[in-house]
Structure 1
Amino acid sequence: MESSVTLLTSNDLEILKQELLRPELRIYTVVVMATRDLESGDVSGALARLRVDADKLRAHNTQITRLLRTASENREAETSV
């Protein structure tokens, strides 16, 4: 399992948690499930869920899209080392 520290900074993780609480996003099952993943400490699982439905979230112009990109870049940097 990937470490949340390497995927997102603690600040980014807080931003993600706040974004997932936005009322207009709570209508999506993926957001509810990703929130549960984060609450149980499974950052990788939450990010994986959000990546699947990123196109829906992008329509709301949230910071989630930026955070997913950051996590992906961090993961790629780790695997290329």
Structure 2
Amino acid sequence: MYLVFRLESETDQEVTYRFGGADHNLDRTLTINKADYTVTVADGKEDAMAVRTAGTAMTRHRQDGVWIKAGNFQA
């Protein structure tokens, strides 16, 4: 799996990330509710790419108090 993601938008209530695979076509989105960390994947596919994107963003936020701007993962 190869994953690339970036922060698309942030409001007081939520953050939205765009993400995709090796082609760097970030054509999928997910939104994380800041209050309770619930995740909504726009296309409804809660696959490994969506889980890794949300997990990385939430882990960084819990550690640093900041929503990560971009990242990647390869396995």
TM-score for both structures, normalised by structure 1: 0.30
Q: TM-score, normalised on structure 2?
A: 0.31
Instruction: Indicate the structure with greater strand content.
Output: 2
Higher gyration radius (CA): 1
Highest RCO, 1 vs 2 (Cα 8 Å, sep ≥ 6): 1
Normalized per residue, the structure richer in helix is 1
